[in-house]
Amino acid sequence: MSSLFVDVTLSILYYKCYGIAYNSNTMYKKKYSRKPTKTKVKLAKIGVGKRRESRKLAKIEKPLEFDLNAEKQEVLDILENTDRNIFLTGKAGTGKSEFLKHFRCTTQKNIVVLAFTGVAAVNVQGQTIHSFFKFHPQTTLESIKKLWGDKGEIYKKIHTIVIDEISMVRSDLLDCIDKFMRMNGPTPGLPFGGVQVFAIGDLYQLPPIVMNDEKELFTSVYKSPYFFDSNVYKEAGFIKKELTKVYRQDKAQNEFVRTLDNLRMCSFTNTDIDFINTRYVQNYTKPANESVISLVTTNEMANSINMGELDKLPFKQYSYPGVVTGDYKEKDLPTSKALEIKEGAQVMLLNNDAQDRWVNGDIVKVIKTTEDSVRVLFDDGSFDDIKTVSWDAIRYVLNDETKKIEPEVTGSFTQFPLKLAWAVTIHKGQGKTFDKVHIDFGRGTFAPGQAYVALSRCRTLEGMTLTTKLQPRHVFTDPRIKEFMEG
């Protein structure tokens, strides 16, 4: 339990990602050959005058595929044609992340995309809430001040604030965002300064973090730590919309999808538990010729598995040095600066291929290593040579001439888009989809929704195995969430 909470807390304290805002007037096709750019950003301002010739703007990832059905079109119409605030939810695999990519790449509005933790911010090419609003861990409503002059100008140009993984945003933090924008936004005094807020997330997944010494705040001041119990939520008149079509699991998995939904809502029966436990394998041994990733509850378990498996391989170990240029903090690197790899290593690909040969999160095996290349084998027997890619560090600048918020590249990190992946934590597997998953609940789950997140990572029931049987005690949620979602 302690490792996961330490990991999440550190990501809050050290602000693992720095910012994003993006505006594009360009429509696009469903498929793209352009490689995505992972970003972190800071804010600045361009003065009036000649634009620097060396200036480079970052490119934002487009969705590989997007199904614009009626329920998504309704949400897009509200976002684009009104200033109404929206909370968009949906079970795992309903395309919330792809919807966000589509919106940010087609909107005519100036938007910023924010998330609570560095991990979540990196996943959406965004900025942490704390870094964007210049909050500290000790920030309270009383400590928020008005910004004067150029420091506050960029906040007056925002049309929409997007908050991803809203389930992790506490009620007191949402009120802090509200007060900051009331003081510094385009329309002082209105909720969020008159700026539209688009909150995305599934409350049945990751919960907000509350330390022991903070619990009194959520009994004496707030009804709960959840964002919907903030003072501003009701005043701002949020519309609740839910995506219902599941894309992760296909129609042949109807029983699996139904069971996952019952587990998500904590309305499961013994039949549901028995159905999942058909995937229990006693004395499980990972197949030698299959790319199976283990989902575990703690970082300690994941690191132990990865390093233990790497040490077992009887091949030469290569260390590939990454190249950092400009302003790119080492703590924000998407993979190791010195990447240690051997032939036979199981790794995760960290980018979407320009030619659609793989996507971010695919699990492959290294079959050849040289001083300057890595060849990997896919599950279908095909192979390819992986090339280095670059992730850009950017800062967001306000262009005085156009009044647009633009992402300017300030540094880059070049490395093979790989990391060891015999195991990852359930927390870090959030948002990813795998073909073959082995789940080890260890000594049990300790956070609401943790079991559901793990079980819903896999495309099919047949692609999943369990070290230990799922127990009813592993599956739980907060009754306050059910009351809000069903209200």
pLDDT digits (tens, 9 = 90+) for 124-137: 777 788 878 989 87
Domain-embedded: residue 39: no
189 with 286, same domain: the answer is: no
Sign of the alpha-carbon torsion through 442, 444, 447, 451: positive
Output phi, psi for 152, to 5 deg: -105, 0
Residue pair 321/388 in contact (Cβ under 8 Å)? The answer is: no
Output phi, psi for 412, to 5 deg: -150, 160
Domain-embedded: residue 333: yes
CA end-to-end distance (rounded Å), the chain: 32
Rounded Cα–Cα distance for residues 339 and 347 (Å): 11
Across 64-78, 249-263, 469-483, least confident range: 249-263
353 with 208, same domain: the answer is: no
Q: Quick one: pLDDT at residue 270?
A: 95
Q: Quick one: pLDDT at residue 29?
A: 33
Residue pair 246/93 in contact (Cβ under 8 Å)? The answer is: yes
Residue pair 182/193 in contact (Cβ under 8 Å)? The answer is: yes
Helix H or strand E segment including 412: strand 405-415
334 with 269, same domain: the answer is: yes
Q: Where are the beta strands (DSSP E) in 116-261?
A: 127-128, 160-164, 196-200, 239-243
Residue 191 lies in domain = 2-24+60-246
- 22 pLDDT more than 70: no
- pLDDT category at 156 given cuts 50, 70, 90 is very high
Burial of residue 98 (number of CB atoms within 10 Å: 0-12, 13-18, 19+): middle
In the chain, the amino acid numbered 230 is S
Please tell me the number of Cα atoms within 13 Å of 5 on its side-chain side. Answer: 11
Q: Quick one: pLDDT at residue 180?
A: 97
Domain-embedded: residue 86: yes
Number of domains in the chain: 2
SS3 label, residue 175: helix
Rounded Cα–Cα distance for residues 262 and 368 (Å): 44
235 with 342, same domain: the answer is: no
Choice between 42 and 215, residue whose per-residue pLDDT is larger: 215
- 37 pLDDT more than 60: no
- Distances in Å between the Cα of 191 and the Cα atoms of 131, 187, 222, 260 are 21, 9, 18, 37
Question: Which residue is it, tokens 């992730």?
Answer: 391
Among candidate residues 246, 280, 298, the one where a domain is terminated:
246
456 with 341, same domain: the answer is: yes
Domain-embedded: residue 154: yes
Q: Which of 87, 99, 118 is nearest to 196 (CA)?
A: 87
258 with 343, same domain: the answer is: yes
Output phi, psi for 247, to 5 deg: -105, -25
Q: Quick one: pLDDT at residue 356?
A: 77
- pLDDT category at 410 given cuts 50, 70, 90 is confident
71 with 97, same domain: the answer is: yes
Q: Quick one: pLDDT at residue 396?
A: 62
SS3 label, residue 434: strand
290 with 428, same domain: the answer is: yes
Domain-embedded: residue 77: yes
**Which tokens belong to 169?**
């945003």
Q: Which of 265, 174, 163, 162 is nearest to 224 (CA)?
A: 174
- 62 pLDDT more than 70: yes
Q: What is the pTM of this model?
A: 0.72
Could you give the angle at the alpha carbon of 338 between the alpha carbons of 337 and 340, nearest 5°?
Answer: 135
Q: Which of 229, 235, 227 is nearest to 170 (CA)?
A: 227
Q: Quick one: pLDDT at residue 444?
A: 82
Residue 369 forms beta bridges with which residues?
Answer: 374
Output phi, psi for 120, to 5 deg: -65, -40
Q: Quick one: pLDDT at residue 38?
A: 42
Across 81-90, 128-137, 237-246, 268-277, least confident range: 128-137
Among candidate residues 246, 267, 292, the one where a domain is terminated:
246
CATH code of 71's domain = 3.40.50.300
Q: Quick one: pLDDT at residue 8?
A: 39
Rounded Cα–Cα distance for residues 361 and 428 (Å): 11
Task: Give me the percent of the chain exceeding a pLDDT of 90.
Answer: 47
Q: Which of 73, 70, 168 is nearest to 115 (CA)?
A: 168
Domain-embedded: residue 145: yes
DSSP H helices, 160-212, are: 171-184
Rounded Cα–Cα distance for residues 15 and 10 (Å): 8
- 480 pLDDT more than 70: yes
- 54 pLDDT more than 50: no
Task: Give me the percent of the chain exceeding a pLDDT of 70.
Answer: 85
- pLDDT category at 479 given cuts 50, 70, 90 is confident
- pLDDT category at 55 given cuts 50, 70, 90 is low
Q: Mean pLDDT over all residues of the chain? A: 82
Q: Quick one: pLDDT at residue 173?
A: 96
Q: Quick one: pLDDT at residue 334?
A: 83
Q: What is the mean pLDDT of residues 76-104?
A: 93
- pLDDT category at 391 given cuts 50, 70, 90 is confident
233 with 261, same domain: the answer is: no
- pLDDT category at 387 given cuts 50, 70, 90 is very high
Q: What is the mean pLDDT of residues 169-175?
A: 95
Domain-embedded: residue 47: no
Among candidate residues 187, 211, 246, the one where a domain is terminated:
246
**DSSP letter string over 437-477?**
EEE--TT---STTHHHHHHTTBS-STTEEESS---GGG---
345 with 224, same domain: the answer is: no
Q: Quick one: pLDDT at residue 171?
A: 95
Helix H or strand E segment including 221: none
Summarize pLDDT for 274-319 with one digit per residue, the tens. 999 999 999 888 887 778 999 988 888 898 999 999 999 999 999 9
Q: Quick one: pLDDT at residue 2?
A: 44
Domain-embedded: residue 81: yes
Summarize pLDDT for 352-362 with one digit per residue, the tens. 787 878 878 88
- pLDDT category at 351 given cuts 50, 70, 90 is confident
- 26 pLDDT more than 60: no
Helix H or strand E segment including 302: helix 299-312
Chain centroid, CA 363 distance in Å: 18
Q: Quick one: pLDDT at residue 177?
A: 97
- Distances in Å between the Cα of 113 and the Cα atoms of 86, 133, 176, 420 are 14, 12, 17, 29
Rounded Cα–Cα distance for residues 452 and 167 (Å): 15
Q: Quick one: pLDDT at residue 43?
A: 39
195 with 287, same domain: the answer is: no
Q: How many CB atoms lie within 10 A of CB 152?
A: 15
242 with 335, same domain: the answer is: no
